Amino acid sequence: MRIIVAAVGRLKFGPETELVERYLKRLEQGGRPLGWRNIEIIEIRESRADNPNKRMLEESIALANIIPQGAVPILLDERGDNIGSVDLAARLAKWREANRPAVVFAIGGPDGLALSLRDKAEVRLSFGAATWPHQMVRIMLLEQLYRATTILSGHPYHRGGCSP
């Protein structure tokens, strides 16, 4: 199963990039034994449209175009569900066992995501009601995905005492 993180906006070099690379490396190493054969980060260029609704629509179309057929679309959305680490790990395991080809985590731009894309989401995931910069959301998502690998493999990183 492929894991794809698709984000509007580019991550500039700096401490955020170092954290992304660190968690991505851990995720790739921990995910391989779990059958996660490819972890990708795809950056979508921010729209230059003058109108916020048009920017949101253009960015949402670009994100929708990279979601493979049969994939699980998950949108990062402040209005989404707060899903615990153990639950996220269990869902990833369930999708892998169901032979879903990919799980795509979509992170929108500053204007958010169009309703047309939000309606296609199998899951809307929230990291709380606060608004977070997309760089931080990417880091938090990669950390949670790495944590899911440790939960599923019984590694002590999570220390939650539960594994699905």
Domain boundaries, the chain: 2-153
- Cβ contact 55:109 at 8 Å: yes
What is the distance between the terminal CA atoms of the chain, rounded to a whole angstrom? 18
State the average pLDDT for the chain: 91
Contact assessment for residue 139 and residue 16, using Cβ atoms and an 8 Å cutoff: yes
The structure tokens listed for 163 are 């594994």
Look at 35-39, 85-89, 136-140, 149-153 and tell me which has the smallest mean pLDDT: 35-39
39 forms beta bridges with: 3
DSSP tag of 121:
-
Q: How far apart are CA 50 and CA 151, in angstroms?
A: 44
Amino acid at residue number 34: L
User: Using the 8-state DSSP alphabet, how is residue 112 labeled?
Assistant: B
- pLDDT for the residue 158: 62
Does this model's pTM top 0.85? My answer is yes
76 strand-pairing partners: 107, 125
> pLDDT, tens digit, for every residue of 26-68?
999 999 999 888 899 999 999 999 999 999 999 999 999 999 9
**Fold (topology level) of 2-153:** Alpha/beta knot (3.40.1280)
Q: What is the pLDDT of residue 152?
A: 94
User: Among positive and negative, which fits the CA dihedral 16, 76, 39, 48?
Assistant: negative
**Cα(37)–Cα(4) distance, rounded to whole angstroms?**
11
Could you give the count of Cα atoms lying within 13 Å of 49 in the half-sphere of its Cβ? 13
Backbone φ and ψ of 43, nearest 5°: -100, 130
Query: Bridge-partner residues for 8, per DSSP?
Result: 44
Asked if the model's pLDDT at residue 164 lies above 80, the reply is no
pLDDT tens track for 111-146 = 889 998 988 999 999 998 888 888 899 999 999 999
